[in-house]
Amino acid sequence: MSNPEKNWFQLIVRIQSSVIPAIMPRVILFTTLGMVISLLFNFTFIL
């Protein structure tokens, strides 16, 4: 019988067959955009 903790860890860190590489650039882009808009709004640069 194999170690369940090792199998769980291998499953979590397996990125090649994951959807993460496909969506990560968009996540980073929109997170950055949201932070910039939020900062500009808080400093009243937006009407």
Q: What pTM was estimated for this model as a whole?
A: 0.58
What are the residue boundaries of the structural domains of the chain, listed by start? 23-47
CA–CA distances in Å: residue 40 to residues 28, 30, 37, 44? 18, 15, 5, 6
3 state SS for 15-36: CCCCCHHHHHHHHHHHHHHHHH
Q: Which amino acid is at 7?
A: N
pLDDT in tens, 8-40: 777 766 766 778 788 889 999 999 999 999 988
Take residue 39 and report the two structure tokens written for it.
């900062």
